[in-house]
Amino acid sequence: MSQNIFLKGIAASPGVAIGQAFVCTLQTIVPTRRELPPTQLEAEVSRLYEALKTTEGQLAHLRKKLPADEHGLILEAHSLMLEDPLFVDAAVNTIREEAVNAEWAVFEVTQALLSRFDTMQNAYIRERRADVKWVSDRVQKNLDGQVFDEEEDTFTVPENSVVVADELPVAKAVFLANEKNALAFVTQGGGQTSHTSIVARAKQLPAVVGIPTLLQRIKPGDCLIVDGGLGEVCIQPDEAALVQAKLKQQQWHAQQIQAQHRAHAPAVSLDGHRVSLWGNMEFVEEVDTLLQMGAEGVGLFRTEFLLVGRDNPCSEEEQFWAYRRVLEAMQGRLVTLRTFDLGGDKLSGDSLEKFLGEPLEKEANPALGLRAIRLCLSHRELFRAQLRAALRASAYGNLQIMFPLISHMSEFYEAKRELEECRSSLSLQGIAVAKNIPVGIMVETPAAAWIADRLALEADFFSIGTNDLIQYTLAIDRQNSQVAYLYHPLHLSVLRSLRHVINAARNANIPLSVCGEIAGTPKYIAMLLGLGIRSLSMAAIQLGKAKESVQNTSLAQTQRMMETVLEKSSTEEIDAFIEAQTNAMYAHLKP
């Protein structure tokens, strides 16, 4: 019987790695609490300001060494924390009110901030706690007079290392991912949307995150097998496990090579129909992976991810550079920039208020509240800055702009009017903007689906956001695990909505794609192709499998399948039928 110890975590980035544990803990610096006489307090406050200034200088230096994409921008956000009243004023007040040393004040304020992070609902924001800790530790070190050690941020990672950490702040994750000796990441904290995961996926390093007891179980130098697809880490594996892991690693590499070969072959069905496969992206850095995996364009750029994790507006200039970088990298391929989908499940509550610089009314039903285009139309400065940045960037590639959560004709008219005004003011300023920028909408509410025939007369293209379309059609909160069992893409109402939108786009002769999660899942791909969809947009990692599915699908067969499906009534019946049909279609393909 095998004695191997397996730790289970979240599968953050697929692939298999075998290497030695390189444990890099972010130690919490616990300073000594010293009480100070009143006469020394102002000198202590000055000492704190001095340390903040030194830290800012160090961050500026570090920023220069990072690519000017979102990781550079996040370091910018780190710097802004050094000016944030929640951090700075709170520490100064603690020195004055508690008559304590600056180190202790910084420690106390950081602990309070970290515990607020722990209770945040939004996983992405919660996972930014590592960044707060990193900035705070740096201030502590500067108070302590420790010399800034650049090497500390770059590490010298020994060959064949698996990086093991409690949490990795973004700067460290980027440096480590660029280290050729780092084979994989394993972290105690984090989730699917933490930077460790995002950077690992973008750099195609296997990663497992969120293993609660990780640091108690792994010692530096332990041999580890990391299976990023299964979300599993094996500690000190025996010979048999090593042989098996090496085999799996070879298979994974072979599959990747096949996927990359396929990446440059068109997705053509068995009966000769061309299907376009596009990429979804959240972070600027992902654009390179999308290209590598053969994305024919960007079908969905979730631009709101430029803003999460920061408390201050993202300036027009910062946005311009981010959009320009994506457009240039895509070398003429179409990039679909979705305007900010803020509010609801994305960025809400405290962080959104801080970001907007004004309080928002509490919402009983955020998913039905001030979200996406609704929020942008009620915060014009924010909207205009984004539209101007996008229009300016349009001169550097092939851009189309898409508005999320449209449910009224008037919202679309108003959004387009704002876009035209921005275009006119840029032209008055003599700033170049592309002549033809298609403007479309996401169809993701039942309202939009049912007036799709009218919207299609005004829109240059549609993209169906099935994640939300399903949520709103079935009245199921997509975040609520208690009703997750009711969230079903194959409910007849969803299929009928899809069919209605497809017909509307076809009659108006406008391009249509699907960019929700189902667009990258083989079983649903067959369903979408059968309904008439010919363009799908998905995460980079899904592109290879999706292409393989298309190449092994007969569209005529999926059409017949969907004709039968639309005669059925219950979701279970439909699901069982599609499952049986797709299992038969793809039985010869590797899982």
Q: Which of 136, 191, 109 is nearest to 26 (CA)?
A: 136
Q: Which of 195, 314, 376, 491 is catalytic?
A: 195
**Whose Cβ is closer to Mg ion: residue 182's or residue 402's?**
402
Q: And the tokens for 384?
A: 């205009």
CB-CB contact of 2 with 226 (8 Å): no
Least distance between ligand PEP and beta carbon 515 (Å): 5
**Whose Cβ is closer to ligand PEP: residue 282's or residue 548's?**
282
Rounded to whole angstroms, how far apart are CA atoms 253 and 245?
Answer: 12
**Whose Cβ is closer to ligand PEP: residue 466's or residue 542's?**
466
Contact set for ligand PEP, span 312-351 (CB under 6 A): 341
Q: Which of 182, 180, 164 is nearest to 220 (CA)?
A: 164
**Residue 546 identity:** A
Q: Which does 300 bind (CB under 5 to 8 A by kind): Mg ion, ligand PEP, none?
A: ligand PEP
Alpha-carbon radius of gyration of the chain: 25
Q: Which of 314, 376, 422, 515 is catalytic?
A: 515
Could you say whether residue 131 binds ligand PEP (CB under 6 A)?
no
Q: Which does 516 bind (CB under 5 to 8 A by kind): ligand PEP, Mg ion, none?
A: ligand PEP
**Whose Cβ is closer to ligand PEP: residue 188's or residue 467's?**
467
Q: What are phi and psi of 258, to 5 degrees?
A: -60, -45
Q: Which residues of 270-288 are buried (b: 16+ CB within 10 A; e: fewer)?
A: eeeeebbbbbbbbbbbbbe
Least distance between Mg ion and beta carbon 321 (Å): 26
Beta bridge partners of 208: 11, 186
Helices (H), 463-521: 466-474, 492-508
CB-CB contact of 440 with 463 (8 Å): yes
Could you say whether residue 468 binds Mg ion (CB under 5 A)?
yes
Sheet strand arrangement including 223-227: 5-8, 232-235, 223-227, 16-23, 161-165, 182-187, 207-209, 10-13
Contact pattern for ligand PEP over residues 450 through 489, marking x by CB under 6 A: ---------------xxxx---------------------
Q: Which of 82, 90, 144, 143 is nearest to 116 (CA)?
A: 90
Active site residue 264: no
Active site residue 488: no
Q: Which does 466 bind (CB under 5 to 8 A by kind): ligand PEP, Mg ion, none?
A: ligand PEP
Contact set for ligand PEP, span 516-535 (CB under 6 A): 516
Least distance between Mg ion and beta carbon 515 (Å): 8
Of 515, 526, 555, 585, which lies in the binding site for ligand PEP, with binding defined by CB under 6 A?
A: 515
Least distance between ligand PEP and beta carbon 248 (Å): 31
Least distance between ligand PEP and beta carbon 470 (Å): 8
Q: Which residues bind Mg ion (CB under 5 A)?
A: 444, 465, 468
Active site residues: 195, 515
Q: Which residues bind ligand PEP (CB under 6 A)?
A: 300, 302, 341, 444, 465-468, 515-516
